[in-house]
């Protein structure tokens, strides 16, 4: 009976969940056993006909999961149970199953196969999100809104600029993932302590052949296990991706507040329910789900990092933790990317509310622009800053528009005409290189996507 929400189907995409199903995991371990038998035959260690039997029978069609579990209940060892069940299915040829190998030759190489598939799925979703953000950056390149720092109005930006910033954050994760893949997707045939003694004189060739057949790299050197700094890097990358999605989702949540009302998740008005008791509610619940799941993914970095230390050439402290953290990191990161792509693609944008919010501070948000205008007319920058600091306070306390306060001040009007003051107070005139930056980012990202083989 399913217990965890991943098992009940509440979280996770079908393709990633399938990748980590028990049947898939066992089949990948059988694939490793088949590759090992084939490699032994290639170097002449075992008869080719026996290797062919093992390759044919190393399948869940012949090695039943129920039989593996039955044996495990008796001998209390999961990999040995798989080996025995496979050997049974192979008949006399079963004598050569698992020859020279230790359990984690099979487990870690199967891990590499799962990582390979999982990273492909996650990269695809990162590519999808990157593309959506690029499109939004261009679409809203000129859409004026107030930039905020410390939760307060700062200076004007555009919505497209915000999306361009997010685009490059996703782009960096794609770069990290592609680099990480080289270190994480590695298997091994190194034996009980890493010396490959059980594989005989052709040990190095056997490892090379196994990995070539399976399509993964061989670890350059290992003990009984692939060293867990590799896995820690992988889980930390998933946590970084989750944290970026948390960042995007948190911003959308904040801008969906009725007091701000600039962005909002799509809401299915015909059917969707926001609250069990308050009919008016339209909550950013998908963004909140992303923020909550990001906490879980970040928490997985602790056991991943604690798995790096091991006694001697290995102990079993990694095993139990990895049964949780590796599937969860992949399933949740992949699911969160799926959710975020849908959120951004269908985001509701209220451009009029953005313009209205720009005026909330009655022009005071343009104080830096006025300060720069004054310095261009010869006023000392520090003096200009102090003067405008006092005038913004005066405007706020007296509840008068900043323009009125400015044109009443002689130090201002001696240097700036009313036209120049109005120009300085127009947020459209103080976007700096924002629009150009958006164009450059989209162009740069497009070139990177082309180099990755994407349109």
Rounded to whole angstroms, how far apart are CA atoms 59 and 68?
Answer: 12
Domain ranges across the chain:
10-96, 113-192+219-357, 362-429
150 is catalytic: yes
How confident is the model at residue 275, as a pLDDT?
58
Residue 384: per-residue pLDDT: 97
Look up tokens 């002449």; give the residue. 44
What average pLDDT score do residues 11-17 get? 96
Is 331 exposed, middle or buried, given 0-12, 13-18 or 19+ CB atoms closer than 10 A? buried
> Tens digits of per-residue pLDDT, 370-382?
999 999 999 999 9
Q: What is the CATH number of domain 10-96?
A: 1.10.275.10
Name 157's bridge partners: 145
Tens-digit pLDDT profile for residues 290-309: 999 999 999 999 999 999 99
CATH domain 113-192+219-357 topology? Fumarase C; Chain A, domain 2 (1.20.200)
342 token code pair: 């849908």
Tokens of 243: 């944290």
Catalytic residue among 77, 81, 98, 150: 150
CA-nearest of 299, 301, 354 to 144 is 354
Q: Residue 274 — pLDDT band, cuts 50, 70, 90? A: low
**Is residue 321 pLDDT above 90, yes or no?**
yes
- pLDDT-derived band of residue 284, with 50, 70 and 90 as boundaries? confident
pLDDT digits (tens, 9 = 90+) for 122-172: 999 999 999 999 999 999 999 999 999 999 999 999 999 999 999 999 999
Q: How crowded is residue 25: how many other Cβ atoms within 10 Å of its Cβ?
A: 19
* Average pLDDT, rounded, for the chain: 96
Query: Catalytic annotation on 62?
Result: no
Q: Are 124 and 15 in contact (CB under 8 A)?
A: no
**Whether residue 349 has pLDDT greater than 90:** yes
152: three-class secondary structure by DSSP: strand
Q: Does residue 276 carry a pLDDT above 70?
A: no
Question: Out of 93, 98, 243, 275, which one is annotated catalytic?
Answer: 275
Q: Taking the model in full, what pTM does it have?
A: 0.95
Domain made up of 362-429: CATH architecture: Orthogonal Bundle (1.10)
């Amino acid at each position: 009976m399913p217990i965890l929400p991943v098992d009940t189907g509440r979280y996770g995409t079908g393709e990633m969940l399938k990748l980590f199903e028990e049947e898939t995991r066992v089949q990948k371990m059988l694939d490793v056993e088949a590759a090992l038998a084939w490699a032994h035959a290639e170097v002449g260690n075992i008869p080719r006909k026996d290797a062919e039997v093992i390759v044919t029978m190393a399948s869940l069609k012949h090695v039943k999961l129920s039989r593996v579990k039955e044996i495990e209940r008796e001998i209390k060892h999961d990999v040995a149970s798989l080996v025995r069940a496979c050997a049974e299915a192979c008949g006399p040829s079963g004598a050569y199953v698992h020859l020279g190998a230790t359990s984690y030759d099979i487990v870690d190489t199967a891990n590499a196969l799962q990582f390979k598939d999982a990273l492909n799925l996650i990269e695809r979703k990162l590519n999808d999100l990157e593309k959506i953000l690029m499109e939004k950056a261009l679409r809203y390149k000129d859409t004026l809104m107030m930039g905020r720092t410390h939760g307060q109005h700062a200076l004007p930006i555009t919505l497209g600029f915000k999306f361009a910033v997010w685009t490059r954050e996703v782009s960096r994760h794609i770069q990290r993932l592609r680099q990480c893949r080289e270190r994480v997707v590695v298997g091994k045939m190194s034996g009980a302590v890493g010396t490959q003694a059980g594989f005989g004189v052709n040990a190095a060739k056997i490892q090379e052949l196994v990995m070539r057949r399976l399509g993964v790299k061989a670890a350059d050197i290992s003990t009984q296990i692939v060293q867990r700094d590799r896995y820690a890097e992988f889980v930390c990358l998933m946590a970084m991706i989750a944290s970026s999605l948390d960042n995007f989702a948190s911003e959308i949540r904040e801008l969906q507040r009725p007091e701000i009302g600039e962005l909002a998740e799509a809401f299915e008005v015909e059917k969707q329910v926001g609250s069990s008791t308050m009919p008016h509610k339209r909550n950013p619940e998908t963004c909140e789900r992303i923020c909550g799941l990001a906490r879980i993914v970040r928490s997985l970095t602790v056991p991943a990092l604690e798995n790096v230390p091991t006694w001697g050439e290995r102990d079993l402290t990694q095993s139990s933790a990895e049964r949780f953290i590796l599937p969860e990191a992949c399933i949740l990161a992949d699911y969160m990317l799926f959710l975020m792509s849908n959120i951004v693609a269908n985001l509701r944008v209220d451009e009029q509310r953005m313009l209205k919010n720009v005026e909330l501070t009655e022009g005071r948000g343009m104080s830096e622009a006025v300060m720069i205008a004054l310095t261009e007319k010869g006023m000392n920058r520090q003096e200009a800053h102090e003067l405008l600091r006092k005038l913004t306070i005066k405007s706020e306390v007296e509840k008068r528009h900043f323009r009125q306060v400015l044109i009443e001040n002689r130090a201002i009007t001696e240097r700036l005409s009313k036209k120049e003051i109005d120009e300085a107070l127009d947020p459209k005139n103080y976007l700096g290189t924002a629009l150009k930056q958006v164009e450059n980012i989209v162009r740069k990202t497009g070139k990177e996507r082309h180099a990755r083989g994407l349109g």
